[in-house]
Chains A and B, each alone.
Chain A
Amino acid sequence: MTINMGPQHPATHGVLRIVLELDGEIIVHSTPHLGHLHRGMEKLAESKTYHQAIPLTDRLDYTNAMGNNFAYVLAVEKLLGIEVPNRAQYIRVMMAELQRIAAHLIWLGTHALDIGAITPLFYTFREREDILRIFEEVAGGRLTPTYLRIGGVSKDFPEGIEEKIKAFVQAFPGHIKEYETLLTKNIIWLKRTKGVGIISKEDAISFGVTGPTLRGFGVKYDVRKAFPYSSYEEFDFEIPIGSVGDVYDRYIVRLREMEWSNAIVEQALERLPKGAVIANDPRITLPPKDDVLTDIASLIRQFKIVSEGFQPPKGEVYASVEAPKGELGFYLVSDGSNHPFRFRIRTPSFANLSALSKMIEGGLIADVISVIGSIDIVLGEVDR
């Protein structure tokens, strides 16, 4: 029998369509169909200046807007060869880690909901709301804040935000315990996740799987450790790994990862350096907004950069970050003009999803739901 799953299906986490060929309840063959959310982002960015492309990146993996900005600005900064002030680097790390927690919270809530546990969703969205409130105060936006700028961040922390982040960081480990009491030793949860969606470690690597899904197989690959960026080498954290790579291992890896992200935010808060939050390079970085409103030179500088942009040297760079889903990288090719010649986005969900067929074939149809949930895809970045 052939069953069509999606594109409008609550458990596919977006508009993914999978055609499943079944023998009874066993999946014989599966064909994913992508592209329902294809917006031509790579093409669109080629016609924009480097600054103008930042808001586009927010809309890749919309649960990880800060992290997407992060990867993109790192690539542009690498292309230009400019240094970012220490304070900005720390602020970026804090925002990216808070965003990772928020993204994992969405994943945990919806993944549990798919499998039939309704309660965790209410808990995880409670904490996610705290993080989004912090983002709103810092950046002005909640889901797609577009907070990062080439050379730094758009504005410094508002007054009193550090106490709020501190309060969150101190309370959060207790909340993880709450989720764990609901799920970790829950017999239904174990039966639905243990031994489900296993493929060999070699296959996972061959399918280009990265992020928590790969670490579930016991492969210790994390871009933050492998190619430290933005002062990650100054923080003390570990990479949690699983053993067999089933859905349960991925669940445990993500839970531990949230704890370490929380620890990184705590360390960054303690050691937050003082100083500028954006590099001062008149040809490249935007001037402080207050100056633009009072000083004619800054106004001209802002106008030139926003309307014309800047012209990086000819060359090609690849910069990546460890996004909640895996390795998110931007490959930029510059021909020396003010817009990118090629704007390639290497998204983790695309590669992770390519392994889906292998993971579900031979398994039960009910397990498709839990496997899709466990590789944590967002169709915004699969289709781009």
Chain B
Amino acid sequence: MTEINLTVKKLEEKFLNSILEVATFRGEVTVTVSKEGILEICKFLHSDPDLQYHLLTDLCGLDFFPETPRFGVVYLLYSLKNNQRLRVKTRVGEVESIPSVESIWKVANWYEREAYDLFGINFENHPDLRRIMLWDSYEGHPLRKDFPVEGPDFDKPFVPEV
């Protein structure tokens, strides 16, 4: 537990204004940060010699519809050096965009494309932001809470544009 305390302490020292909340549930630490600070915080967590969160285990979106700001983005980091996980969360509105972390972890390229595809979250400075699961002409973002489970066109014939 010492390393995770160290992580939180270091973050609070350096980014006091960006950190909104630190919560622990079932032994997992979640740091909620503001959207503006996310890129700098990720860079710091990745490069700090005591922390070295080199593995971005997961990045995914959340939809809090009808709350505002509407979306959440969750980063799950893992430090090979300290054998420690850390979850970083942030919120982003529907028409806003959030800085891409592709420059830090390359796997974020695909994860962010997925969040863009299924939630419609925009990532700034992403080198290749296009749909990944669905076809390019698809309209809508299926993982949004206001998207029906059976799909908007389940009773219409399925003819995708080629």
Contacts and interface: CB of A to CB of B under 8 A. Distances in A.
B74 A354 contact: no
Contacts of B147: 43
A206 B106 contact: yes
Interface stretch (A250-258, A271-279, A342-350): A342-350
B75 to A, nearest CB: 11
A32 to B, nearest CB: 9
A24 interface: no
A331 B60 CA distance: 9
A226 B30 CA distance: 19
Contacts of A140: none
B149 interface: yes
A148 B85 CA distance: 26
Contacts of A208: 55-57, 105-107
A351 B110 CA distance: 8
Given A206-B107, A207-B106, A318 B133 contact: no
Contacts of A226: 83
B5 to A, nearest CB: 18
B71 to A, nearest CB: 11
B18 interface: no
- Determine the interface band of chain A, counting residues with CB < 8 A from chain B: 35 or more
A315 B26 CA distance: 9
A203 interface: yes
Nearest to B83: A226
B87 interface: yes
A318 B28 contact: yes
B93 to A, nearest CB: 18
B110 A333 contact: no
A304 interface: no
A207 B107 contact: yes
B106 A79 contact: no
Interface string B103-116: 00111011000000
A35 B107 contact: no
B62 interface: yes
A322 interface: no
A333 B62 contact: yes
Contacts of B57: 208, 320, 327, 329, 346
A47 B149 contact: yes
Contacts of A333: 62
Contacts, number: 91
A316 B107 contact: no
Interface residues of B, number: 32
B80 interface: yes
Contacts of B56: 208
Given A35-B134, A40-B142, A318-B85, A205 B54 contact: yes
Nearest to B128: A31
Nearest to A80: B26
B76 interface: yes
Contact of B25 (A34, A206, A317): A317
Given A34-B133, A35-B135, A354 B107 contact: yes
Contacts of A46: 149
B36 interface: no
B80 A221 contact: yes
A84 interface: no
A272 to B, nearest CB: 28
B103 to A, nearest CB: 10
Interface in B48-100: 54-58, 60, 62, 74, 76, 80, 83, 85, 87
A344 B60 contact: yes
Contacts of B110: 350-351, 354
B132 interface: yes
A42 B147 CA distance: 13
A327 B58 CA distance: 10
Contacts of B149: 43-44, 46-47
A166 interface: no
A63 B124 CA distance: 38
A42 B143 contact: yes
A383 interface: yes
B58 A79 contact: no
Interface in A188-205: 202-203, 205
B146 to A, nearest CB: 12
Interface in A161-220: 202-203, 205-208, 210, 219
A81 interface: yes
A383 to B, nearest CB: 6
Which 3 pairs from chain A and chain B are nearest by CB?
A208-B107, A35-B133, A346-B58
20 contacts: A40-B142, A43-B143, A44-B149, A47-B149, A81-B26, A203-B106, A205-B80, A206-B106, A207-B106, A226-B83, A227-B83, A315-B25, A316-B28, A316-B87, A317-B25, A317-B28, A331-B74, A346-B57, A351-B107, A351-B110
Given A46-B149, A346-B58, 8 more contacts: A44-B149, A47-B149, A78-B26, A219-B80, A317-B26, A344-B58, A344-B60, A351-B107
